[in-house]
Structure 1
Amino acid sequence: MTTIAVVSAGLSDPSSTRLLADRLGRAAAEALLADGTPAEVAHVELRPVAHEIIDAMLTGFAAPALATAVATVVEADAVVFVTPVFTAGVSGLAKSFLDVVDKDALADMPVLLGATGGTARHSLAIDHALRPVFAYLRAAVVPTGVFAATDDWGTEGDAAALEGRIRRAGADLAWAVRASRRVPQQADALPATPDFASMLGGLGH
């Protein structure tokens, strides 16, 4: 079974970022299934682990919820990564999560990028602010990124155009999965939060 980790860095609940991420993950899974490859989607919502991400940046240790999120991403066969855009850049939450993932953990990982924003003027953020980060991580990012502005969720025509972009991007990720040379990984991006009792070695008794 192929696993697609769908990462959403949306800050609100409900979130258009989560909605786009879900649709991209579903499109990729459907494209894989159409070619005879069963796929499942594993959702990773960053908002609930926001505090753990900051703590990990400060301490170097991952709390259990964050460790689980990182493991889901690192051990997947492909990743859909979607972030809101603020002031022409990706959200700090999205970048901070990538900062706590080991720099080699996503090498050759097939990745589909998406972003949401209030206006189409932010659409280039995928290429100038997000794609370079994944290039540094040596991920195999597919050419088609999907940006959804507020208007894309409105009229029937805009919604249909967005659906077309989602379908194309899903097909791109499915192709990248089939062509992937990635070796299965085990998550070791950050050590788990230490058990201080064991670190003291019984000195407290």
Structure 2
Amino acid sequence: MTDFPFDLVGFDMDGTLLDTSADLAAAVNHALSQAGRPALDVAEVRPMIGGGARHMLAQGLDRTGGCDPAMLDRLHRVLLDYYEAHMVVHTAPYPQAVEALDSLAARGVRLAVVTNKLEAYATRVLAALGLTDRFVTVIGGDTLGPGNGKPSPRPIQEMIARAGAHRAAFVGDSIYDVRAAQAAGVPVVGCSFGFLDRPVADLGADAVIDGFAELVPTLERLGAAR
């Protein structure tokens, strides 16, 4: 048994556990190039990440001249095909993320991933980085069917059900993460280093960390406060 306040901690993937920005920006820019659009800097793409690949691409197309639904459909497939072949060129865990996972596991905490990335892509990236076995479940944006990705609470609720947990917390970097966790009644930690589309203070998270060295003590404080 453990006296840690949570028996399950869930994590968003892109911009939370992993810095995937360079690989995702490359996929966006490949799709944009097929429409004769200029490339975007990684820093420009980073705030577009979090709502799934189609949403990310739509923002990139809007930034470079707009699009119609047929163009978005066509280029979405182009983006996915490119990303499938170049998923883990630059992607890596954030500093001290793996150490934080180890620290939680040593306290008897189960770990999970809930992402708006397609489940098959999420599991492939985690496998390529040797992280798969750390998580009791991985839930993607398509796992529960259309319309059931974050900010819906359903992925968080499904994470809890699969883990058989009683005291869960969630860690993320976007408004989708915060709204999903809050709707599921789960405390949420925001990451100031993530792919933010607004100031981290405006996400409405229960706490904020500036790096993974802060995660365990922050969760302990959140648990004590509750």
Scaled to the shorter chain, the TM-score interval is 0.3 to 0.5
TM-score when normalising by structure 1: 0.42
TM-score when normalising by structure 2: 0.39
